[in-house]
Amino acid sequence: MANQEDQFKKVLSHAKEYGYVFQSSEIYDGLSAVYDYAQNGVELKKNLREYWWKAMVQMHDNIVGLDAAIFMHPTTWKASGHVDAFNDPLIDNKDSKKRYRADVLIEDFAEKFEDKVQKEVKKAAKRFGDAFDEAQFLSTNPRVLDYRAKKEEILTRMGKSLEAEDLADVKAQIEELGIACPLSGSKNWTDVKQFNLMFGTKLGASAEHATDLYLRPETAQGIFVNFLNVQKTGRMKIPFGIAQTGKAFRNEIVARQFIFRQREFEQMEMQFFVRPGTQKEWYETWKESRLKWHLSLGLGMENYRFHDHDKLAHYADAAADIEFKFPFGFKELEGIHSRTDFDLKAHEEYSGKKLQYFDNEINKSYVPYVVETSVGLDRLFLAVFSNALQEEELEDGNTRTVLKLPAVVAPNKAAILPLVKKDGLPEIAKEIFDQLKFDFNVTYDEKDAIGRRYRRQDANGTPFCIAVDYETKEDNSVTIRHRDTMEQKRVKISELKSIIDAEVNMGVWLSKAK
Ligand code: GAP
């Protein structure tokens, strides 16, 4: 645990020190759970967004994009159920005065049984060595089965009481499990209450004539209300999808963990409209496809897992999260939801307009069912960034801090470094910059000794360094150094573009997601 906390602290300070993420309005002591993306962060975020957009829109001839406004007619949120049901169950500790999400307290408690399972696995793997069969162990070991049954029992009861809005039972469960305030250790709890997460605002110049609005808590509704416009003008045939990236806002009460849970964040969502009855199949297809996309970034299968929901949102008939192993444990990165025809039917009812599709293959009109994929861009950023940050022991006994970002999303693809600041070397380096800038984000750095500049670029996440030296003047060759291997090679300036492109080309990376 201490290790995890240390690693997370390193992530926070590295993000600030290297111009990735700053606290919002820092000179005024910041605004809780609101962050700004700095010079490198904005590039990483843009690249991740583009990586998603290409995978969803460019690579599917039946998915198109949309950019709906953040402000929407207030009835949207009545229809979608957010006014009545977009709540978190909150509980306060009377001694520490700290507020928690009751479901998170219970989930964290249940997760301790999973930690115990993992400990048993480790012990057994050590005891049995090569003969260890993990799958068999997990399905037969009595202690493991007992831990998993306990975890299941806790989550099932919580799911049922939340679904039935039985908040008294949620509190009873917290008390029966003996869950204490993580901060103070006190078990002196208030009742559990529902709290709506939408931010309200006003439209209009004068107080009497102002209309109450909400900042959208998800981008999805902008897609639903435009469903028929897009279908008709784009002549889309079911099954088809509409994808959108954009800001969403939630008045999160328990806003910890840096950019993982913010009050203003960005979502990348896709609603896939399907014929009723086929939603289960599409739900499975999208689960698999989205996991493959994440894996294509190369962060390792061991860092992902699916979590099927016990408590379904008010609109879903099936839902799963893709969880990622963040520095504070496995947490939700992306949601895949089978949303039925809930949203379109509700918008039909509230607007009085038909939102139906005529399916000429079966000669029938219907309200389509929807399978949604929804990933938080900020969480994806944190997943990629925290996984990339590494301290490496070097052969000479030194350590280096290196940010091994997937090259395809790294803010700068190469740094061009003249060996010295004289004898015409900076001029050649700037010429190389001017050649490469048309294809890649590149940076120029002439300050400090070359070794220090290499280290700085390692910590910045730049996949390549290109050193210009006296030999360059003779034969147009430069040294190209690879961030991850630190391998150095002598190549011609004319070869640089293709060498860099081979490692950062989005198409090449995306083909791994197929
Ligand atoms: N349209 C469905 C929807 O909004 P969600 O599970 O509430 O579903 C989808 O959110 C994704 O948005 C999450 O998986 C997460 O990555 C991201 N997200 C949600 N709340 C967030 C927050 N407060 N801060 C950062 N990201 C958040």
**pLDDT tens-digit map of 415-431:** 999 999 999 999 999 99
Pocket of ligand 1 (CB under 6 A): 218, 220, 250, 252, 261-262, 265, 267, 269, 332-335, 372, 374-376, 378-379
What percent of the chain stands above pLDDT 70? 99
Which of the listed residues 103, 247, 267 should we mutate to test ligand 1's pocket, taking the one with most ligand atoms within 8 A of CB?
A: 267
pLDDT score of 217: 97
Fold equal for 87-196 and 412-513? no
- How many other β-carbons are positioned within 10 Å of the β-carbon of residue 447? 9
- CA 225 to ligand 1 center in whole angstroms: 20
- CA 362 to ligand 1 center in whole angstroms: 36
Contact yes or no for 23/30 (Cβ under 8 A): yes
User: Residues 17-36: what's their mean pLDDT?
Assistant: 95
Which atom of ligand 1 is the closest one to the Cα of 218?
4
Band of pLDDT at residue 212, cut at 50, 70 and 90: confident
Contact yes or no for 482/491 (Cβ under 8 A): no
* Angle at alpha carbon of residue 465, lines to 509 and 508, rounded to 5°: 10
CA distance 474 to 492: 11
- CA 219 to ligand 1 center in whole angstroms: 10
| Alpha carbon 186 to its chain's center | 33
Considering only residues 164 and 476, tell me which one the structure prediction assigns the higher pLDDT.
Answer: 476
- Examine residue 142 and say whether the peptide bond preceding it is cis (omega within 30 degrees of 0): no
User: Residues 402-415: what's their mean pLDDT?
Assistant: 98
Residue nearest to atom 21 of ligand 1 (CA): 261
CA distance 140 to 308: 22
CA distance 465 to 413: 9
Q: Which of 205-209, 271-275, 470-474, 483-487 has the lowest mean pLDDT?
A: 205-209
CA distance 105 to 187: 12
Band of pLDDT at residue 208, cut at 50, 70 and 90: confident
3-state secondary structure string across 224-242: HHCHHHHHHHCCCCCCEEE
Parallel, antiparallel or unpaired: strands 304-308 and 369-376: unpaired
- Report whether pLDDT(2) > 70: no
CA distance 454 to 481: 9
- CA 267 to ligand 1 center in whole angstroms: 7
pLDDT digits (tens, 9 = 90+) for 312-368: 777 788 999 999 999 999 999 999 999 999 999 999 999 999 999 999 999 999 999
CA distance 316 to 272: 14
- Say which CATH architecture domain 412-513 belongs to: 3-Layer(aba) Sandwich (3.40)
- Report whether pLDDT(90) > 60: yes
pLDDT digits (tens, 9 = 90+) for 222-260: 999 999 999 999 999 999 999 999 999 999 887 678 999
Which atom of ligand 1 is the closest one to the Cα of 337?
2
Residue nearest to atom 14 of ligand 1 (CA): 334
**Residue among 49, 54, 43 nearest 512 (CA):** 54
Which atom of ligand 1 is the closest one to the Cα of 263?
23
- CA 475 to ligand 1 center in whole angstroms: 54
- Residue 445: what are its φ and ψ, rounded to 5°? -145, 125
Q: In the beta sheet, which residues pair with residue 244?
A: 269
- CA 396 to ligand 1 center in whole angstroms: 45
- Report whether pLDDT(1) > 70: no
Contact yes or no for 426/446 (Cβ under 8 A): yes
Which atom of ligand 1 is the closest one to the Cα of 334?
14
pLDDT score of 344: 97
- CA 375 to ligand 1 center in whole angstroms: 7
- Residue 248: what are its φ and ψ, rounded to 5°? -135, 160
CA distance 314 to 335: 14
CATH class of 87-196: alpha beta
pLDDT digits (tens, 9 = 90+) for 256-312: 789 999 999 999 999 999 999 999 999 999 999 999 999 999 999 999 999 998 777
**Residues 6 or more apart whose Cβ sits within 8 Å of residue 176:** none
pTM for the full predicted model: 0.88
pLDDT score of 85: 85
- CA 253 to ligand 1 center in whole angstroms: 14
Which of the listed residues 379, 380, 382 should we mutate to test ligand 1's pocket, taking the one with most ligand atoms within 8 A of CB?
A: 379
**Residue among 451, 429, 449, 433 nearest 441 (CA):** 433
- Report whether pLDDT(507) > 90: yes
Contact yes or no for 410/504 (Cβ under 8 A): yes
pLDDT score of 415: 98
**Residue among 395, 21, 455, 15 nearest 7 (CA):** 15
In the chain the first and final C-alpha atoms are separated, in Å, by 36
pLDDT digits (tens, 9 = 90+) for 37-88: 999 999 999 999 999 999 999 999 999 999 999 999 999 999 999 998 889 8
Q: Which of 151-165, 371-385, 395-409, 497-511 has the lowest mean pLDDT?
A: 151-165
Contact yes or no for 243/66 (Cβ under 8 A): yes
Amino acid identity of residue 459, one-letter, is A
State the average pLDDT for the chain.
Answer: 94
- CA 166 to ligand 1 center in whole angstroms: 24
- Residue 510: what are its φ and ψ, rounded to 5°? -65, -30
pLDDT score of 373: 98
Residue nearest to atom 9 of ligand 1 (CA): 374
Give the three-class secondary structure for 179: coil
Q: Where are the domains of the chain?
A: 87-196, 412-513
pLDDT score of 157: 93
- CA 275 to ligand 1 center in whole angstroms: 26
